[in-house]
Amino acid sequence: MRRSICYIISAFLLITLLSLGSFTLSAEAAESTVAAGDATGGLRYTVSIAKFENRAGWTGRFNIGDAWGAVLTDLLNRSGKFIVLGETDMRQAAMNEQDLAASGRTTQGAITPGQGNMTPAQILIKGVITHVQDTSSNSGGIAIHGIVLGGSKSTSEVNVTMYMVHSSTGQVLASTSVVGTSKSSSTLIGAYGRSGGGVLNNKKHGNMGKAITNAVDQGVQWMITQLPNVTWRGNVVLIKDNNIYINRGTREGVKPDMEFIVGTASALRDPNTGEVLDVSFSEVARLRVVTVKEKIAICELAGGDAEAIETGMFVQLPQ
């Protein structure tokens, strides 16, 4: 009997190590996906995430809407394609602090929250969790010469509809539905004999959390594919000594030698509803980035009429 128990413990430890190894490989694969996204470079868009509604009626050990928002914030930030602003509740909390400071009821100094400094979002992200399913585990096993071997499997699934909304117009730029799944298994090993027996069970938890991560990852990859359809813009903030300063820098992914067009943008509106139908851009010059700081880039004239450039004009990629 003692020898059987030793065999059980050894087998259990081996299975546990293999399970940990599998998890490590999965984590490394996820990291490599994020790294591959970073390697593509490109300009970053500011995004804000609204709380995802739970219309599936699912309840568990955590709030599924909050969990989705937390994972989405993390993966968007790590993708290297976005500047992720605080979720809606955090931005509201920041505004409350600014209002409190402006009331004069707090000490005033360099760290006092000031109004007019919050970064605006270009894209708003919201969504609805429409379906959640946690399947029951199916278990079974066999007994051979006093040794019991068994196991079980379970699957979690979450369905979500996501929207990308333009912050200026409120128009839905794109929408999609994603289905995240995660499968887990557990192993049971035991032994029995005349003097007694024992059972060891290697069971994995957190299946629903993994399904959420899987769905969010799909959503982030979809968002990246939609970025070419969203115009990236900045503004001229200063013209000095033949240099043109724009309000976009390393934070937004601007790099030396990048070229931008500068000019004016006019909204084409429906005469009946006032809805923005399109934006017409009139180019006056081209700029080449010389020096980049965190939030600004210093550019030189690369073509066009330098005298026509004015503070406040739009800057965007060549079309």
CA-CA distance, 65 to 187, in Å (whole number)?
A: 31
- Tokens read off for 121: 């979002």
Residue 136 to residues 210, 212, 310, Cα–Cα distance (Å): 16, 18, 65
DSSP type of residue 207: H
Domain limits of the chain?
2-85+121-229, 233-316
Handedness of CA 47, 43, 228, 266 (dihedral sign): positive
3-state secondary structure 154-188: EEEEEEEEEEEEECCCCCEEEEEEEEEEEEEEEEE
What is the CB neighbour count within 10 angstroms for residue 266?
A: 10
Class of domain 233-316: mainly beta
**What are the backbone dihedrals phi and psi of residue 31, each rounded to the nearest 5 degrees, phi first?**
-65, -40
DSSP 31-83: HHHHHHHHHT----EEEEEPPPEE-S---SSS-HHHHHHHHHHHHHHHHTSEE
Among all chains, which residue has been given the structure tokens 């995004």?
A: 47
Type and span of the H or E element at 198:
strand 196-202
What fold, for 2-85+121-229? Rossmann fold (3.40.50)
The CA–CA distances, whole Å, from 190 to 10, 149, 273, 288 equal: 12, 7, 73, 71
Write b or e for each residue in 194-227: b if 16 or more Cβ atoms lie within 10 A of its Cβ, otherwise e. eeebeebebebeebbbbbbbbbbbbbbebbbeeb
Q: pLDDT in tens for each of the 319 residues of the chain?
A: 455 444 444 444 433 433 433 333 334 334 434 433 343 337 999 998 988 899 998 888 888 888 888 899 999 999 889 988 865 665 566 566 666 666 666 666 655 555 555 467 789 999 999 999 877 555 555 555 555 555 567 788 999 999 998 887 778 889 999 999 988 765 555 555 555 444 444 444 468 888 999 999 999 999 999 988 888 889 999 999 999 999 999 999 999 999 999 999 887 777 877 777 777 889 999 999 999 999 999 999 999 999 999 999 999 988 7
Strand partners for 180: 158
**Secondary structure (3-state) at 202:** strand
Conformation bin of residue 83: beta by default, left when phi > 0, alpha when psi is -120 to 50: beta
